[in-house]
Structure formats: C-alpha cells, structure tokens
A and B are shown apart, each in its own frame.
Chain A
Amino acid sequence: MKRQDEIDPITLTVIWKGLLSIAEELGLTLRHTAFSEGVREGDDFSTAVFDAKGRMIAQGPFSPGHLGSFPYVVQAVLRDYFPPDRLRPGDGILLNDSALGSGHFPDTFQIMPVFMGERLIGFVCNSAHQVDMGGAAPGSQKVHGVTEAFQEGLRILPVRFIRGGEPDEDILRLVTGNVRMPDKVRGDLMAQHAANRSAAVRLEALFREQGPERVEAAYEILLDRSEASMRQALAKVPAGTYSFEDHVDDYGPETPPIRIAVDVTFDGKGEVTVDFSRSSDQVPAAINSYLNYTRAYAIFAIKVFCDALWPQNAGNMRPIRIVAREGSFFNPRFPAPSGGRAALQVRIFDTINGAIAQALPERAMGAFSHWSNPNIGGIDDRTGRPFVLYDVGLAGYGGRHDRDGVEGLSPVMNCSNIPVEVHETLNPVRVRRLEFIANSGGAGRHRGGCGLRKDIELLNSTATLSLLGDRHKFQPYGLAGGEPGALAETILNPGRNARTLPSKALLQIEKGDVVSFRLSGAGGYGPPGERDPQAIAEDIADGYVTPEHAAAKYRFAPAE
C-alpha cells in the first residue's frame, strides 16, 4: 500500500481521465477520416493506450469486437514479433492475421510505440474494419464455398509498416495490390496512422507534464483497482456453474446444425470462467470464431451482466477467463476460414445470457431476433460498373423482467441500418416493404420485440445473392416462462412461385425477383398469462399483435 501513497488522488484522477480522453479522441479522429462504411456507420473500430510492457491501460468506448481482442493482440506482437527493445521512435506496426487479431482479415490493427526522447513510454493502437482485403469476394467476408483462410484475402502478420514516421511504400504497394478498392484501403491505413500519431503526441505530453515515474506508478494503481472492482462485481454473482445450449441452423445448405454450448462458472470469490469447449468442432465455412473474437464478446457479455462497465483494461480483465477447446468452433486452428464470423456475436451473447439467467434472472432478457447480413452484387446494367448492396437487418430485443423488449434496435454489435433511399440511390433495387411482423414477438408477461420484414426487388438483369441469416430452424428462446419468438424465413418471390430459401446460401437472382427477408421475433419473458391486459390492448391498437393472436396466446377478450 506504500506505493499508493506516492500519488495523490487528484493526480491519479487527472492521469486516468487524460488517458481515457486520449483513447476516445483517437477514435473520433479515425471515425471522421475513414472511408470504410464499417468504421463510419458501424463504429467497427477500436482504440487503446498501452504501457511500455504492453499492458492495456485504457481504451475508447468503441466496438466490443476489437476491444476485447486488443490486449491479446499487443501481447502476442511484442512477445513473438517485435520485442520492445527493437522498436524505435517513428515506428508503426501493421497486422490483420485472423488468429493474432480479431478473427478476420478486414480488421487491420496499427500499433505505434510512443517515446519520450529515447525512452519507450507505451503504445497507442487502433483497429479498423477495411472495405476489402482481397480474397474470394468483395468485402473479404464470403462464407459459402470458403474452406480455408487462404481464400479470404491477404494475410498480414505483424510488419513494420511505419518507419521514421512515414509509411513503408513497399508494404503499402503490396497491400494495395491485393485489395479491390486500393484507394480506400490506402486512405484508411493512413487515417489509422494519423490518428495514432495525434494520440502519441498527447500521451507524450501527459508523460512530460506528470513525469514518467509518476504516470507509471499510477498505472499500477489503476490496474490493481480495476481488478479489485471487477472482482467485487463478479463476487456478487451466486457461485455455481451455469450451462446453456443452443444451435446455429447450419453453415450452408445441407449442413448440420452447429452446437453452441457454454458453461459459465462463478467461483463466488470474484473470478469467472466462460467455457465454450462443449460446442461443435470448427466448420469448413467462413464463420468460425477465433479465440480472440470469442473472448471479445464473452467479456462484453460478462461486463454487461455484472454491470461492470468501467473502461476495459488489463486489470479488470484479469479475473475473467474465456476458454474453448482447441479445434472447436470457438477456438479454431488456423487456417480455419472466419470472414463471416460477425454472424456469431449475437449468439455468443445470447448463449451466455441463457446461462446467466439462472443466476441473475433480473439481468437477463429473452433471446434477440437474430440479425441478417445479406449482400446483392453484380454488374449494374445502367453503368457497366460493379455494385454491392450490403445490408444489415436488425429487429427486436427479448422481453426483460420489468419491460417489453425494444423494437428494432441493433443487438450486441452496434450499427446503423442503411436507409432505403440510400440503397435505391446507389443500387439497382427497389425495397418493396420494410415493417414489423405482427405476432412474431415471443409472448410473455413482457413481450419480445417483433421480427422485421424487408422485401427487396432486383431491377438489374441478374445478380448474386448471398444470404447470411439464422434462426430459421431454432427459435429465439423465451425466459422464465416466456415463449420463444417466431422463426425467421427468407422467401423468394412471395405470392408467386414462392420458394423458401435457406438461412445461408449463395444463388443467382434475376430481374423482377423479390427476396423477402423475415427476421425472427425475439423471446418473451415471464408467463403470457401474467401480461397486463392494458398492454395487450395497446399492442392490438398499434398492430403489434392481432386480436386473434391475443385471444390464442393471452386469452385476451377486448373489454366491451
């Protein structure tokens, strides 16, 4: 405790707020200079500040997907590729390896050592989702027909991308020569570097102002206290092992379901282990979840449930262990393909939610509507140029112990939808319909959110349709007596030669074809019989449920 007396609480506060502000501003700069839609609209990027030993001290409030991976990325890079004594002022490291990074190639990480004079004082880092990294299909996230990572694009193990403060033009040429949109990728790589550089200037200023000894002593205190706070939060959860199992429909037409099984063990003393080992083996399709990605969303879930929402750092991650059997779906061996692993994040959360509901029923909610991430691409008849309609379909949240599920909100990952008017301006399509599906939300004391229907008509002569959805076979579960949400469906040409499509598939469509996406409803919470009749009447008035459904599920008869 002697060490802690050396720094007064005000100075400690100033250092901590300063670090958080550096990490956040790094991200704001990146967001506003990026070309990639994922970065701009989807907040698909992250930022963090590390100490000279490579321990994460603070991070910006951005994508949980990269945030949770960051500590492991930097540790591995410093251990296996760039020992700190080999780094010099003006250096910057670039990588995108799936296993070392956050689980797929489009996420590029840049790590910049920061010096005060000749003394290494830490690292500033960011990751960003690039528009393309080459490989089998635009966007480098093709799921179908991809059986190993080498088909997914350019793999960059850690390289010294920045030397003497300038990008290595040779590396840049190598990268841009292997991607579909070289200008954008170049722009984003430079934006990542510039954002790091401005953060490095501020980190150095903080060290000069406070003195390196004092800042480094503050780091120890911050990490210890963060760890203690996390342990305290985890210790509040009743001790025990809580297990839950669910299934992903399949990984393509004619393939078996993937089992997602989790055992969450709270020791009652402040540690938790989340173990996915009982899940299926890795699959020959690009939706495997590398361990860093599994860690990221499992840690996110634990934090959400334990209300432990302090900024993440190496300290508060110490008491959390995320485990998965090597070779399993959640810890695959390289070169397992993984481009489309984002499809899984909702399910990692859902499964842990199902387990923790047994320990913390008031924190859990019914399962989400699973999201849908289709692409329609081809050559635009009007211009002769390629087009890709990239879409995100997002629907309801599960019912909560005290409230209904929210309608139409991004689950887990946090992104915006793409306006109908933007799609129709850029691509040869017409959206025919975008609306909630009545009666699809799981019945319960608190109803699950509705599924969402979106019908898209192709106006082009032909196009390739890539489907990446789920919950066509396994309903989003309800909790505490609540009913599951309705299954999802994807229908080609509803009302004329209607054909049901699988949740994940690749097919050609022709002019005039209408693809109708119908997302699953979210799970309900609590027995439907306990639902407030007034809430049922409101739902009928708003059309979220029909009178027939209300009569069947809730035995509801309108008051005369």
Chain B
Amino acid sequence: MIRISFDIGGTFTDCVLHDGAGGRVLAHKLPSTPADPAQAVLTGLDALLGQAGLAPANVAAVLHATTVATNAVIERKGAPTALITTAGFRDVLIIGRQKRYETYDLYLDKPEPLVQRRHILEVAERLAADGTVVESLDPASVDAAIERALASGRQSVAIALLHAYANPTHEQMVAARLAERAPNVPVSLSSDISPKFREYERTNTTVVNAYVRPVVDRYLGQLQDALKQRGFQREMMVMQSNGGLVSPALARRYPVRILESGPAAGVLMASLVGEAVGARHVITFDMGGTTAKLGAVDDGQPAIAPAFEVDPVRYRKGSGLPVSVPAVELLEIGAGGGSIASLDMGMIGVGPQSAGAEPGPICYGKGGRQPTVTDANLVLGYIDPGYFNGGTMPLDAAAAAAGIRQHIGQPLGLSDGEAAWGIHLVATGNMEHAMRLVSVERGRDPRRYALVAFGGAGPLHAARLARAIGIPRVVVPAAAGVGSAVGLLQAEPRIDVSATRLMRLEAASVPAMAELYSELERRARAELALLSDAGGVRWSRYGYLRYAGQGFEVHVDLPDGAIDESYPARAAAAFHDAYQRKHRYRDEAGAVEAVDWALVASLPRPPTGEWRFAASADQRQGRRNAWFPEAGGFVETAVMARASIGSQGIVGPAIVEDPDCTTVVLPGDLARIDASGHLLIDIARDRT
C-alpha cells in the first residue's frame, strides 16, 4: 500500500512517501508557498511519485498536518467574529481568569482577545447548572444581536451561553435563527465545540473555532480541489491536535481541533520510532531554532492533555489563549539554537531571548551580534561550519568565537572553549529542568524511557540530557528532518468526545454514568458518519478525576466493559494507580470524583508494514577537535555520516552528521544504526 503525507510549516513543506510492501520511505523537503500552499505540495508530491515511479492513482492515503489554524490566531488574521453570550456576562472573554503569568511583573498586558468588546452581543436567557431553563430565550434579543453582528460585517459567529454544556437548546435556537437570517455565516456553539464547565475556557475555545473557521475552510477546500484535479482519488485526511486523523469535512467544522497538528504528528513519529526500536515509553525532544518541545509516549500511546494554550507569551503558562480540546501533551520552552547567552551577576544565562532565524546566531553572518547556543556549539566543534544544513549554509566560526569571547569569555576570564562550554551547559540545564517536569514530576521514571531527539538542535544536546536525567537510551530517528510528515503515516482516524459531569465514583452514580456514556457514543457516531474511512471502530474511555474536593484532575484511562455496579470500583482502582504514578501518593479510602468524561472512537489502520528509510549516500568520515570535558577539553574526535557507522557501532566521543542535524556521542557511550536506519545511543551505565 502506498501512502503519502505532507506537513506544511511556515518555512518548509515536507513530503514523505511510504511503500508498505517493501518498507521503502522517500522524503522531499521544499520551501513553502504561503500564497498558495497547494503549489509546494503538488511539486513535492510529484517529485516523490516520480522518484518512486508511481502515479497519483496508486496512492491509498494522503495525510496532512498544517499550521494554518495556529498562524491565523498568532497573527490575528482570522475572520471578523462576533460572540453571542448570556445577558449580563459579556465580559467573560475579556476578564479571563485574571491571573498574571508573571507574579513579579505588574506592567504586563493581557493577550488581545480575538473579539473586541463591541462585537460581544447579549441575548436574554438563563440556564441553571443542571441545564434547567431559568429564563427562556427572548427571541427579540436574539434578532437584535444577529442584526448587530451582521450590520458590523461579522463573517463568523460564536455562541457561548452560561451552562450550555448541560443543555444546548438555547444555543441551538440562536444558531437556527442565525441560519435563517444569514445561511452563509458559519456558527460555532460552545455546547458542540467544547461542552465543559468553566465559562471562560469554553467561551474562548468556541471563539477560537469561529475565528479560524473561514480561514481553514478556504484553505482545506483549495487543497482538496488541487489534489483531486491532480488525480489523487483518496480523500486527504487531516491531523488533529489529539494525534488522530479526521476528514476535511470535520476539520472544516472543528478547526480548533487541528491547531497543534504538526507537533502532534511529531510526537506520533517518536512513538513510531519507539515501536521500531522496542521502546514503549518515550520522552520526545524536538529542539529547533527558537524553542524546544517536550512530549511523552506512555506504553505506546502519545500522552494527551485536556487543554493547551495557543499563542503564549514567552512560553509562560497562563499567558496564552486557553483551548479546551484534547491535544498531545507538550511542554514548550524558549530554548533553541538561537537562544542568546548573556551575563548576570557574573554568571551565564541563556534565553529566553532568541536571535531567531533573522538575524540569527553570529555565525550565520546575517548581522547577529549576540552569542547564541548555536555559536557555542560551533566553537565546541560539535557543528561543522562547512556542513550546516547539508553544506548549503556556510558558518563563520571565527566570528562566533569572537562574539563569545567578547560577551562571555573575557568578562569571566575564560578561554573560548570554556566560555562556549558554559553556554552549552546552561542551555542543557534549562532543558534538563523542563525535562524533569515532563518526566519525574509527572510520575515518569526516566530509567524506563527512551529519549527520541529530533529537530535541528535536539540530537546535539540529547546525550547530555539523558545522562543528567538518567535516561538509558537516546534515539535519533532516520529522516528526523521530516519527522512530522513521517508521524502522519503512523496516525489513525480518531474522535474524542467529552462532557463535564461532576460525579462521585459510587454505586448511586451508575445509571447517570451509563446514560452519559451512551450520549457520548451517540455524539461520536454522528461524527464518525463524517469520517470517510470506513472500518471497525475501536472504543476507549478516559476521564479527568480527582480526590473529592481537589481542584486538579489527573488523566485516567477508564476500564472498558459494561457500566454496572462494579464499574465505580474498577474506575476508582484505575484512578488510584494513575494518581500514585503521578504523585507518589495514594489514599484508598479517599472519595474519588470525576469531572470530565471522554470517549474515544478510533479506526485502526492496517499495519503499516516495514520501514526502511533511504540511507544517505554520504559515507563521509573524518576527524576534528571537539570539546569533551570528561576528556579534558578539546580532543580529536571521529566525525562520520550515519551511513558509515555500520552495525557494530562506535564508542564515543564521536559526532554523527546528518544533513539536517548533528548528533553528539559522549565518551563511553555506544552509537549504532538499526535495520530501519535509526541511530541508537546507549548511555554508558555508570554515567547516568
């Protein structure tokens, strides 16, 4: 079976083809064409098919990840949107949750809401917390609100009424009236988009959906047309933030679910690679120019969080717009190759300021004046100035050294190597702190995990991080440079539906639980009808549970099977285990309550077969000086292309160069290549 995928980012479009029969994987990376994204896609897919000697009609699946929705929010380039809400509560969206994202900064500003106050309109109605109608919907107020929305040129409408998660009727009545008056204006209902309690988060999630909907609709429509015209017969599937695929029809209706499309695919790639090397537990580490993203795969499944934030400020929690839809769990920190090193109180600090790609590190020669992590890695000999991006971008090592000397080395009385090492060490320490949060603090024992490192800078820092945290193995995937596109090929169609219902796990709750799950199944089946892929559905349940009275819930995979008298006890047992894993604490006697209940419907894909990544023809081998403090500083170090390592492996210190990333192998560690082409590093046991 031939499957093809493409990941459109701001700079590059990555295309990958996988032939399930022989396992062959082909990749092609080309510049994105933002004005007409389909252009780069078609060029890339043509190239792959040409190389494989195939035609579009041979392709059994076309899979896609995109940043279009996220970019529309970050750049505030969504559609002019109105919000209709319950009278008396127009300011919920602007008030937010009111907490400063920096306790010690009283001069900060809140994120700009996607809808200005003047476009937030009220309708007279009121529901109680259990969904009963306290005040019926006033039709005159509905007409007035719709009139104002249309008169002010709003092209998309969000409706978020208080307690609508418990009863969607009023929202549906407003939507029906709007459909009569303006059938072409898309409507997003909070009871449909994110039926959970906590009005700010639900309202904002609904507004984000409404705001990006026309943009995503147009984009996916054009892409579908272009693929069809080119002769692709299977409908494209789109990656969602939860790591599952959906049909374009669903993505166009629920674009808020595809915000984290690309990062989700990256984590899936790591799970695929983990599977290939026999690792069921994986920490993912994707480090690029400005940020590092950390995720996890537990027991073969990417970890999913119930919510995330879009467009955060300096990656601070609480600074972005909250979106309450399931997404792969990712911790993003401002630590990348472009992070700037500086001095404070005679000590080295790195980031969060970044030189980005423009002007970039000093060594890019594009006007950067402040030393960065990449400059340090160059001075340390980890990066070959003549082989950056496969040799397409020569780097100025002398300028990097001079910058480090001026800003760090001279003030501290350190040699160039020592100063660069200090920068490298502090950058690694920042990531170590983040990785501790993802692993130890969330109940993941590093000794059971493998670290899958990718992104331009990830493999360079991975071994140090693994040592610091105690992770025994690092994997640098083959084709890491097109990782998200590879991850797409691993995905299955998946739908998550959830509901808020605060309930204790006790016998009295059983009928309500059973009813809740049949309602969730009904909703999931309605969406499945819009998923074009047929096939047997696999159902699974999870929830967000806590000890009664707590305010933080933990993710719990709930048991399958009939919801009968034994169910509360079985669910509670699952909770106790999950809680103990995460917090190392267990209170068997404590009452347990569930806040959110979720049901997952996934459509298992056929086995993907073997994976054989095309090995680079590059057989380079050489030596250069690189800095390893355990060896006393600069030592002559073996440098080789992945293809020249061979199956017996090599013991560090060594540097492995791929065209898109460089891997540092520390003294005593063993690096080798497996049958699929992945680079494995076993961290020397006495070093972890």
A400 touches B107 (CB 8 A): yes
B94 adjacent to chain A (CB < 8 Å): yes
A484 to B226, CA, bound (A): 61
B549 touches A35 (CB 8 A): yes
Within 8 A of A (CB), among B86-124: 88-92, 94-100, 103-110, 116-118
Within 8 A of B (CB), among A215-235: 222, 225-226, 228-229
The smallest beta-carbon distance between B200 and chain A, in angstroms, is: 6
B185 adjacent to chain A (CB < 8 Å): no
A12 touches B347 (CB 8 A): yes
The smallest beta-carbon distance between B370 and chain A, in angstroms, is: 18
B118 touches A35 (CB 8 A): no
If A397-B106, A421-B129 touch, whether A10 touches B348 (CB-CB below 8 Å) is yes
Chain B residues near A551 (CB-CB < 8 A): none
A408 touches B94 (CB 8 A): yes
Comparing A77-85, A109-117, A428-436, the segment that makes contact with chain B is: A428-436
If A13-B422, A410-B98 touch, whether A435 touches B91 (CB-CB below 8 Å) is yes
A406 touches B109 (CB 8 A): yes
B414 touches A425 (CB 8 A): no
Kindly identify which residue among A17, A24, A410, A452 contacts B426, using a CB–CB cutoff of 8 Å.
Answer: A17
B590 adjacent to chain A (CB < 8 Å): yes
Kindly identify which residue among A24, A37, A410 contacts B551, using a CB–CB cutoff of 8 Å.
Answer: A37
B36 adjacent to chain A (CB < 8 Å): no
If A309-B104, A541-B118 touch, whether A9 touches B89 (CB-CB below 8 Å) is no
A421 touches B99 (CB 8 A): no
A422 to B110, CA, bound (A): 23
A68 to B100, CA, bound (A): 19
B103 touches A394 (CB 8 A): no
A226 touches B88 (CB 8 A): no
A286 to B166, CA, bound (A): 41
Q: Mark A268-293, 1 if CB is under 8 A from B, else 0.
A: 00000000000000000000000000
Q: Mark A20-48, 1 if CB is under 8 A from B, else 0.
A: 01001100110111110100110100000
Chain B residues near A40 (CB-CB < 8 A): 550-552
The smallest beta-carbon distance between A227 and chain B, in angstroms, is: 10
Comparing B214-222, B283-291, B579-587, B620-628, the segment that makes contact with chain A is: B579-587
The smallest beta-carbon distance between A318 and chain B, in angstroms, is: 15
A407 adjacent to chain B (CB < 8 Å): yes
Within 8 A of B (CB), among A525-560: 541-544
B611 adjacent to chain A (CB < 8 Å): no
Chain A residues near B42 (CB-CB < 8 A): none
A434 to B91, CA, bound (A): 7
A32 touches B104 (CB 8 A): no
Chain A residues near B104 (CB-CB < 8 A): 61, 64, 300, 303-304, 309
A419 to B97, CA, bound (A): 8
Within 8 A of B (CB), among A121-163: none
A9 touches B199 (CB 8 A): no
Output the nearest chain B residue to A394 by Cβ-Cβ distance.
Answer: B98
A9 to B421, CA, bound (A): 11
If A28-B437, A409-B100 touch, whether A183 touches B584 (CB-CB below 8 Å) is no
A414 adjacent to chain B (CB < 8 Å): yes
Output the nearest chain B residue to A393 by Cβ-Cβ distance.
Answer: B98
B507 adjacent to chain A (CB < 8 Å): no
The smallest beta-carbon distance between B421 and chain A, in angstroms, is: 7
A403 adjacent to chain B (CB < 8 Å): yes
If A35-B550, A419-B198 touch, whether A25 touches B436 (CB-CB below 8 Å) is yes
A505 to B621, CA, bound (A): 81
B314 adjacent to chain A (CB < 8 Å): no
Chain A residues near B99 (CB-CB < 8 A): 43, 410, 414-416
A410 to B106, CA, bound (A): 10
A409 touches B98 (CB 8 A): yes
Kindly identify which residue among A64, A190, A542 contacts B116, using a CB–CB cutoff of 8 Å.
Answer: A542
A420 to B127, CA, bound (A): 12
B198 touches A35 (CB 8 A): no
Within 8 A of A (CB), among B638-673: none
Chain B residues near A194 (CB-CB < 8 A): 584-585
B356 adjacent to chain A (CB < 8 Å): no
B496 adjacent to chain A (CB < 8 Å): no
B95 touches A408 (CB 8 A): yes
A326 adjacent to chain B (CB < 8 Å): no
The smallest beta-carbon distance between B266 and chain A, in angstroms, is: 25
A12 to B107, CA, bound (A): 31
B583 touches A430 (CB 8 A): no
The smallest beta-carbon distance between B121 and chain A, in angstroms, is: 12
Chain B residues near A300 (CB-CB < 8 A): 104
Chain A residues near B348 (CB-CB < 8 A): 9-10, 13
Chain B residues near A304 (CB-CB < 8 A): 104, 106
The listed residue with most B CB atoms (<10 A of its CB), out of A183, A184, A304, is A183
A417 adjacent to chain B (CB < 8 Å): yes
B345 touches A310 (CB 8 A): yes
Output the nearest chain A residue to B418 by Cβ-Cβ distance.
Answer: A10
A72 adjacent to chain B (CB < 8 Å): no
A543 to B122, CA, bound (A): 13
B103 touches A43 (CB 8 A): yes
The smallest beta-carbon distance between A59 and chain B, in angstroms, is: 12
The smallest beta-carbon distance between B555 and chain A, in angstroms, is: 13
The smallest beta-carbon distance between A300 and chain B, in angstroms, is: 8
A14 touches B197 (CB 8 A): no
Chain A residues near B494 (CB-CB < 8 A): none
A544 to B118, CA, bound (A): 10
A264 to B135, CA, bound (A): 55
A417 touches B88 (CB 8 A): no
Kindly identify which residue among A62, A63, A403 contacts B109, using a CB–CB cutoff of 8 Å.
Answer: A403
The smallest beta-carbon distance between B45 and chain A, in angstroms, is: 45
Output the nearest chain B residue to A312 by Cβ-Cβ distance.
Answer: B104
B585 touches A17 (CB 8 A): no
B617 adjacent to chain A (CB < 8 Å): no
A425 touches B197 (CB 8 A): yes
If A421-B199, A452-B95 touch, whether A29 touches B441 (CB-CB below 8 Å) is yes
Q: Mark B198-232, 1 if CB is under 8 A from A, else 0.
A: 11100000000000000000000000000000000
Kindly identify which residue among A16, A397, A435 contacts B347, using a CB–CB cutoff of 8 Å.
Answer: A16
Kindly identify which residue among A12, A18, A419, A433 contacts B199, using a CB–CB cutoff of 8 Å.
Answer: A419
Chain A residues near B90 (CB-CB < 8 A): 435
The smallest beta-carbon distance between B548 and chain A, in angstroms, is: 9
B429 adjacent to chain A (CB < 8 Å): yes
Chain B residues near A434 (CB-CB < 8 A): 88-89, 91-92, 95
The smallest beta-carbon distance between B178 and chain A, in angstroms, is: 23
The smallest beta-carbon distance between B63 and chain A, in angstroms, is: 36
A424 adjacent to chain B (CB < 8 Å): yes
A187 adjacent to chain B (CB < 8 Å): yes
Kindly identify which residue among B100, B109, B197 contacts A414, using a CB–CB cutoff of 8 Å.
Answer: B100
B502 adjacent to chain A (CB < 8 Å): yes
Within 8 A of A (CB), among B117-166: 117-118, 126, 128-129, 134, 162-163, 165
Some 18 contacts from A to B, beta carbons below 8 A apart, are A9-B412, A17-B429, A17-B430, A21-B432, A25-B433, A41-B551, A194-B584, A304-B106, A310-B344, A310-B345, A400-B107, A408-B91, A412-B106, A415-B99, A416-B97, A425-B197, A436-B91, A542-B117
**Contact residues of B with A, CB < 8 Å?**
88-92, 94-100, 103-110, 116-118, 126, 128-129, 134, 162-163, 165, 197-200, 344-348, 412-414, 418, 421-422, 425-426, 429-430, 432-433, 436-437, 441, 502, 547, 549-552, 582-585, 587, 590
Closest A-B pairs by Cβ, 6 of them = A433-B88, A542-B117, A408-B95, A40-B551, A10-B422, A13-B347
**Contact residues of A with B, CB < 8 Å?**
8-10, 12-14, 16-18, 21, 24-25, 28-29, 31-35, 37, 40-41, 43, 61-64, 183-184, 187, 190-191, 194, 222, 225-226, 228-229, 300, 303-304, 309-310, 365, 394, 397, 400, 403, 406-412, 414-417, 419-422, 424-425, 430, 432-436, 452, 455, 541-544
A-B contact sample (19 more), CB < 8 A, given A14-B429, A29-B441, A411-B106 = A9-B347, A9-B412, A9-B413, A13-B348, A14-B426, A25-B437, A40-B551, A62-B103, A407-B94, A407-B110, A417-B95, A420-B162, A421-B198, A424-B128, A425-B502, A434-B92, A435-B89, A436-B91, A541-B118
